């Protein structure tokens, strides 16, 4: 069962403009943070730090940290190693994280693992990712594809451990 954190619950800022509506997508692309994530983030007492990270990512995206000011966090949803799923732009909204021209094809789901520190997704994170994928299929008419950011775009994202899971079918552990 999905453990969803609403935008109000994580303290999201309001988008600065209306989302572009997406009627459906081919599926979902999986992302990681690309930076250092605290090695002990997954410990049970550390979920407050996940909430801080999501707020920081939204602030960075809206401040132009990815080259242009985004109207909101770029991701459709964000998943953490405590099996929680944060609402991002959500279903039927164009994300901004897949790269130019690639956002209408797939929703974008971020996993809170990085390129150093915490790099391996635990089972709770993988379950949260499947929760998000199922949600976007049910509520957002996402198709069956599950891919990585690196599919069709030059990036290391979502990192080798997560990409291996995607390639094996993105199944529950």
Q: Which stretch binds Zn ion (CB under 5 A): 16-24, 45-53, 60-68, 130-138?
A: 45-53
Beta-carbon count within 10 A of 8 CB: 8
Interface pick for Zn ion out of 22, 53, 73, 80 (rule CB under 5 A)? 80
Q: Which helix (H) or strand (E) holds 135?
A: helix 123-140
- Are 60 and 52 contacting, i.e. CB atoms less than 8 angstroms apart? no
Q: Is there binding between residue 89 and Zn ion (CB under 5 A)?
A: no
Which is nearer to Zn ion, 71 or 113 (by Cβ)? Answer: 113
Which is nearer to Zn ion, 50 or 132 (by Cβ)? Answer: 50
Number of residues that bind Zn ion (CB under 5 A): 7
Helices vs strands, H then E, count in the chain = 4, 8
Which is nearer to Zn ion, 74 or 140 (by Cβ)? Answer: 74
Q: For residue 109, what are the β-bridge partners?
A: 30, 77
Which is nearer to Zn ion, 23 or 106 (by Cβ)? Answer: 106
Q: Phi and psi at residue 45, in whole multiples of 5°?
A: -80, 0
Q: Which stretch binds Zn ion (CB under 5 A): 2-10, 14-22, 74-82, 124-132?
A: 74-82
Interface pick for Zn ion out of 31, 106, 137, 147 (rule CB under 5 A)? 31
The DSSP secondary structure of 8-49, one letter per residue, reads HHHTPPPPSSPPPB-S-EEEEEEE--SSEE-TTTTSGGGHHH
Interface pick for Zn ion out of 22, 50, 129, 162 (rule CB under 5 A)? 50
x/- site string to Zn ion, residues 129 to 168, per CB under 5 A? Answer: --------------------x-------x-----------
- Are 146 and 114 contacting, i.e. CB atoms less than 8 angstroms apart? no
Binding site for Zn ion (CB under 5 A): 31, 47, 50, 80, 82, 149, 157
């Amino acid at each position: 069962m999905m453990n969803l954190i609403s935008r109000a619950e994580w303290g999201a800022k309001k988008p600065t403009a209306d989302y572009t509506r997406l009627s459906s997508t081919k599926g979902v692309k999986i992302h990681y943070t690309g930076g250092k994530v605290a090695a002990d983030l997954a410990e049970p007492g550390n979920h407050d730090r996940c909430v801080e990270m999501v707020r920081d990512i939204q602030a960075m995206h809206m401040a132009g940290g990815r080259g242009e000011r985004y109207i909101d966090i770029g991701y459709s949803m964000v998943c953490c190693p405590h099996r929680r799923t944060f609402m991002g732009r959500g279903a039927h909204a164009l994300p901004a994280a897949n790269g130019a021209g690639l956002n209408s094809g797939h929703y974008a789901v971020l996993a809170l693992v990085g390129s150093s520190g915490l790099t391996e997704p635990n089972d709770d994170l993988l379950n949260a990712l499947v929760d998000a994928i199922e949600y976007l299929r049910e509520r957002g008419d996402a198709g069956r594809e599950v891919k990585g950011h690196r599919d069709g775009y030059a990036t290391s994202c979502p990192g080798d451990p997560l990409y291996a899971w995607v390639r094996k079918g993105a199944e529950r552990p």
